[in-house]
């Protein structure tokens, strides 16, 4: 049984084509004059002089193929020949491989695969989050001026199975990974070119190192266009106000810092897709590489910290109830765009950010099914937004009322409407519409407690317009005419065009047993789940029934201060679904597992290349199709006038 069925293939192709459409209308590059031919690494040494100087003198014994990312075998037709030459003479001594024809009218080739590899299931735990990998990507060959000319993305089918229900998330994941392959990677920063006195990719010189360094304890990428876009966005005139890079264990990563550039496409964690932007700061990296020109009109609106100045995210967190950007761990509040409830999660700078998750969205009516306390009178729907509140329905019973009035402020979903640019109104359940002035709080007749009014109505009301713009498309574009030609195109440059070659081949994975890996995968999930529930437990055993798509895990719960369950029970994952059901005596305990964040594998031991995986918050999923058929796609990026 293949890892991907026809429906999966269709979903993947659709997401990748949407991502391709974005890049082929955003970037331009200096064209190659002939077909793209990739290099081989099968030559051990070359002649230093003689009539065959520069040609291969000795071949590597046992060399049989060329790989991209150590996993994808590059077709021979894409590769140069491999020929051994004598010191003198025009007749080769050994023709190991004839030269391939190359890829015509192309300047970059992207190999896209969907295969369950050991890396998909055993990421190294650098962020203390033991979660599965969704995908990973890297460049694998460089060309003229060190521009990437080949790269690979591999999607992990066990997680890809979930994305068929959320194609927007798959699209954003694909965009993120393609950005890595085109040059947004730590390993290539030092190869960026200065083309300020020439066309991109033509007669450029390497930028003076270092391109990133510590500024007041923050590692910033200090390239000209990135600094310009940072200054514009945050309203900061500091000449060293570069974009902050993520740092883990004292190592600079190939992502933006999640707290200082929260919600951009290149942070390590992908939030909800409607809260993530392909931002101008990220696109500026392409221009500063010297390899591309950028159509910035293709960037999406980005609001995090807009106009907040040079110290945004650095100064000590305020305890103000009006602060919607930063928070203290454990607080339940609202995402800064107010579209969703959010949990406060800590960052590298020891302060928290309100992070939205699936099921928290206020504008999705179906999320109201999870509401338990109806006294709060929350309302979920297309015009609902999140507000800090401790409202509780008042009762004639005085003692009951007094017990409810002490509720803490937390994120609640209520209806809203914008009356012009400066007035916001809120409606709670059956109440009337109530004015909600900036930086104030209001009370609602018939309720105890208050609702905190946002500090910036503009952000909330702009979010309404963005939601309308993006509601009808997966590939979110800010241009009505996506094929408009801006000033970046010259006679020698053109937009990227990506064509696709599809190949399916069978591969038997003898290096690991898929059933055992699946079991280990599930055990880690359950171990984390029960730990979060503060349950002491011992795993007694497990078994897999592949015919019935069922996994059984036998556990024993021990007594602790939170439970007195000194007995055994069996956990069954039926159809490898999202819901974990625990049968214990006559009681049924169901848990819905979410917040699955994949690892950044670029620091894995033995990794030579900068291989980035994408971090995302999604629901747990288990694919049924776990056999060994390898689905392989070639995406060829070419250029046209």
Q: Which residues are catalytic, by number?
A: 177
User: Which of 591, 163, 595, 130 lies closest to 360, judged by CA?
Assistant: 595
Token pair 């309720």 in the structure block, residue: 447
User: Which of 33, 35, 17 lies closest to 25, judged by CA?
Assistant: 17
Query: How far is 536 from 531, CA to CA, in rounded Å?
Result: 7
Query: How far is 404 from 396, CA to CA, in rounded Å?
Result: 13
Query: How far is 274 from 173, CA to CA, in rounded Å?
Result: 13
User: Which of 142, 135, 79, 78 lies closest to 112, judged by CA?
Assistant: 135
Per-residue CA distances from 169 to 19, 135, 258, 268, 619 (Å): 11, 12, 18, 14, 12
User: Which of 166, 303, 164 lies closest to 233, judged by CA?
Assistant: 303
Residue 396, both tokens: 């004639």
Query: How far is 298 from 305, CA to CA, in rounded Å?
Result: 21
Query: How far is 592 from 453, CA to CA, in rounded Å?
Result: 32
**131 known member of a binding site:** no
Are the CB atoms for 597 and 131 separated by under 8 Å? yes
Query: How far is 270 from 420, CA to CA, in rounded Å?
Result: 32
Are the CB atoms for 144 and 150 separated by under 8 Å? no
Q: Say how many residues make up the chain.
A: 641
Are the CB atoms for 56 and 82 separated by under 8 Å? yes
Q: If you write DSSP's letter for every residue of 310-340 in order, what string do you get?
A: TTTTTSPPP--TT--SEE-TT-EEE-TTSSB
**180 known member of a binding site:** yes
Dihedral angle sign, alpha carbons of residues 179, 181, 187, 192 = negative
**255 known member of a binding site:** yes
- Beta strand extents in 69-211 (DSSP E only): 72-73, 82-84, 94-97, 106-114, 135-142, 148-155, 193-194, 205-206
Are the CB atoms for 576 and 623 separated by under 8 Å? yes
C-alpha distance across the termini of the chain, in Å: 43
- In which order are the strands placed within the sheet that holds 243-248? 212-215, 218-221, 243-248, 251-256
Query: How far is 85 from 439, CA to CA, in rounded Å?
Result: 77
Query: How far is 517 from 602, CA to CA, in rounded Å?
Result: 22
Q: Tell the burial category of 516 from Cβ atoms under 10 Å away from its Cβ (0-12, 13-18, 19+).
A: exposed
Helix (H, G, I), strand (E, B) or coil at 530: helix
Q: Which residues make up each annotated binding site for Zn(2+)?
A: 176, 180, 255
Positions at the binding site: 176, 180, 255
């Amino acid at each position: 049984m293949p890892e991907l069925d026809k429906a999966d293939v269709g979903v993947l192709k659709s997401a990748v084509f949407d991502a391709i459409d974005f890049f082929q209308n955003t970037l331009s590059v200096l064209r190659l004059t002939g077909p793209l031919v990739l290099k081989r690494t099968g030559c051990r040494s070359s002649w230093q002089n003689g009539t065959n100087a520069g040609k291969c003198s000795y071949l590597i014994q046992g060399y049989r193929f060329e790989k991209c990312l150590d996993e994808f075998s590059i077709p021979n037709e894409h590769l140069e020949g491999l020929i051994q030459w004598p010191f003198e003479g025009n007749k080769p001594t050994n023709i190991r491989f004839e030269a391939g024809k190359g890829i015509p009218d192309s300047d970059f080739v992207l190999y896209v695969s969907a295969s369950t590899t050991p890396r998909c299931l055993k990421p190294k735990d650098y962020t203390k989050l033991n979660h599965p990998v969704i995908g990973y990507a890297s460049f694998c060959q460089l060309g003229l001026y060190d521009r990437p000319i080949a790269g690979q993305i591999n999607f992990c089918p066990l997680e890809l199975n979930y994305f068929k229900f959320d194609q927007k998330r798959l699209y954003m994941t694909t965009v993120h990974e393609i950005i890595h392959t085109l040059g947004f990677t730590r390993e290539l920063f030092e190869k960026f070119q200065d083309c300020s006195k020439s066309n991109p990719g033509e007669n450029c010189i390497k930028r003076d190192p270092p391109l990133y360094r510590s500024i007041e304890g923050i590692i910033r990428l200090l390239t000209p266009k990135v600094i310009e876009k940072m200054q514009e966005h945050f309203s900061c005139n500091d000449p060293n106000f570069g974009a902050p890079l993520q740092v883990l264990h004292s190592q600079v990563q190939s992502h933006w810092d999640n707290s200082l550039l929260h919600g951009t496409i290149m942070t390590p964690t992908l939030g909800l897709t409607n809260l993530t932007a392909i931002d101008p700061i990220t696109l500026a990296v392409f221009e500063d590489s010297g390899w591309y020109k950028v159509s910035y009109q293709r960037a999406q609106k980005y609001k995090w910290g807009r106009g907040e100045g040079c110290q945004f995210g650095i100064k000590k967190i305020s305890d103000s109830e009006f602060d919607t950007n930063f928070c203290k761990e454990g607080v339940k509040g609202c995402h800064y765009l107010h579209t969703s409830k959010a949990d406060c999660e800590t960052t590298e700078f020891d302060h928290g950010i309100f992070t939205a998750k699936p099921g928290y969205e206020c504008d999705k009516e179906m999320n109201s099914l999870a509401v338990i306390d109806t006294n709060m009178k929350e309302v979920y729907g297309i015009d609902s937004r999140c507000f800090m509140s401790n409202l509780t329905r008042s009762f004639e019973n005085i003692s009951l009322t007094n017990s409810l009035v002490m509720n803490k402020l937390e994120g609640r979903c209520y209806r809203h409407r914008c009356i012009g640019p400066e007035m916001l109104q809120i409606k709670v359940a059956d109440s009337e519409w109530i004015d909600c002035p900036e930086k104030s709080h209001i009370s609602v007749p018939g309720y105890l407690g208050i609702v905190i009014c946002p500090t910036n109505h503009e952000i909330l009301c702009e979010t309404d317009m963005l939601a309308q713009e993006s509601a009808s498309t997966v590939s979110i574009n800010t241009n009505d005419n996506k094929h408009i030609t801006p000033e970046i195109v010259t006679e020698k440059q053109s937009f990227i065009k990506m064509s696709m070659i599809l190949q399916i081949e069978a591969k038997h994975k003898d290096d690991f047993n898929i059933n055992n890996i699946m079991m280990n995968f599930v055990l880690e999930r359950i171990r984390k789940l029960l730990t979060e529930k503060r349950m002491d437990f011992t795993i007694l055993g497990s078994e897999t029934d592949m015919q019935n798509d069922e996994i059984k895990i036998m556990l024993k719960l021990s007594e602790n201060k939170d439970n007195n369950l000194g007995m055994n029970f069996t956990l069954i994952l039926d159809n490898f679904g999202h819901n974990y059901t625990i049968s214990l005596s006559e009681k049924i305990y169901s848990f819905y597992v979410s917040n699955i964040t994949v690892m950044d594998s670029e620091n894995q031991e033995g990794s030579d290349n900068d291989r980035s995986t994408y971090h995302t918050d999604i629901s747990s999923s288990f694919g049924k199709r776990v056999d060994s058929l390898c689905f392989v796609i070639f995406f060829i990026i070419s250029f046209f006038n």
